[in-house]
Structure 1
Amino acid sequence: MPADAPDPAASPRATDRPGDESPFALGLLLRRAHWRAAAVMGEALRPLGIELRHFAVLIVLVNQGPTMQRDLAMATGTDKAGVMRVVDDLERKGLAVRKAVPGDRRARAVEITPKGLELYDAAHAAAEPSTASLVGELKPGETELLTNLLTRFAHPPENKA
């Protein structure tokens, strides 16, 4: 082994398996948890005719009201072209509409429709059994603990200088 090469025994390598102690372990575990949760939630949404990417936009529209497409892209972690496709889908399904923004002839805000709001509520009802199965292996109190920890992890307090 060359003198400047790292000693493989000195630092753990990322494996993506339980017990991984590498510096990537937490990120890999969160990625795997995301895949599992996304698959379960996607299955709950499938009978309603939408995907998780559609639901993510509906969540923003319910929480923020009419929203510019560029802001939807930021809020959902999607690129502008991806959000345009999602909004196109939502419009075709009658779940959202684009409306002119007063004072800006080029800008359009996306707004949820009453049909979109009905589907949003139906999605929550449809997700209940899936969510229960997703956390079925956790002990009493662990679902709340996991939720609290992930909330703090995903939404750290802003640093105050």
Structure 2
Amino acid sequence: MSTDDTVRELLLVMPRMVGRIKRLPLPDQLKTLDLAPRHLSLLSLLLLDGPQTVSDLAEVLGVAPTTVSLIVSDLSRRGVLVRHEDDADRRRRIIDISPDSRDAIAQWLSPGAEAWRRALAPLTPAEQRTFVDTLLRYEEAVARR
């Protein structure tokens, strides 16, 4: 298969994939929250990796801590996130999904995570890394336009 054949196939599959992702049903509890992609990434990190500091979240998301703080403040006001004192350093705050929101967020995000697990399972760790690196290069190339 040539690169052009592969590009053609990807140009057909990507819009279908995005369309299907957008149609994933949002649990009733989350429908009124007007969640955006930036919320999705932050909530995914907290769901998969557990409670984290604003700085840790900012580093992984590749944004400024002030950006994460704004998102956290917004979602905290809506009862989606909670902040706790860090027992090791009382000046730091640990961010987590609120107990009242955890099940709804897991219900919303888990199908996507499971689909990625199934899709990546046949690949070796090196092939998985190549796949992710390819997506990152694609994202970078699109952002330059």
TM-score by length of 1: 0.52
Point out the structure with max Rg over C-alpha.
1
1:84-123 matched pairs, under 5 angstroms: 84-123=69-108
Structure 1 residues 79 and 37, CA gap change in structure 2 (3 angstroms): farther
Partner of 1:76: 61
Give yes or no for the alignment of 1:152 onto 2:129. yes
User: 1 CA distance for matches of 2:88 and 2:66?
Assistant: 24
* Same amino acid, percent of matched pairs: 28
Instruction: From the two aligned structures, give the one with the greater helix fraction.
Output: 2
Change (3 A) 1:42 1:110: farther
CA shift for structure 1 position 124: 3.4
Q: Which ranges in structure 1 are unaligned for 5 or more consecutive residues?
A: 1-17, 20-24, 132-142, 156-161
Contact map agreement 1:73 1:80 (CA 8 A) in 2: yes
Q: How many residues align?
A: 117
Pair 75,125 (structure 1): closer, same or farther in 2 beyond 3 Å: closer
The Cα of 1:110 is off from its aligned counterpart by: 0.3
Separation of aligned partners in 2, 1:45 and 1:53 = 18
Structure 2 CA distance for aligned equivalents of residues 85 and 36 of structure 1: 32
Contact kept in structure 1, 2:44 and 2:109, CA below 8 Å = no
- The CA distance in 2 between the partners of 1:72 and 1:66, in whole Å, is 9
Match of 1:135 in 2: none
Matches within 5 A, 1:2-151: 19=4, 33=14, 41=21, 44=24, 48=30, 49=33, 50-124=35-109, 144=119, 148=123, 151=128
Q: Which has the higher contact order (CA 8 A, sep 6+)?
A: 2
CA contact (8 A) 2:72 2:81 kept: yes
Partner of 1:138: none
Q: How much does 1:42 deviate?
A: 5.1
Query: Which structure 2 segments of 5+ residues have no match?
Result: 134-145
Q: Distance in 2 between matches of 1:82 and 1:43?
A: 27
Contact 2:81 2:97 in 1 (8 A): yes
TM-score by length of 2: 0.57
Q: CA deviation at 1:37?
A: 5.8
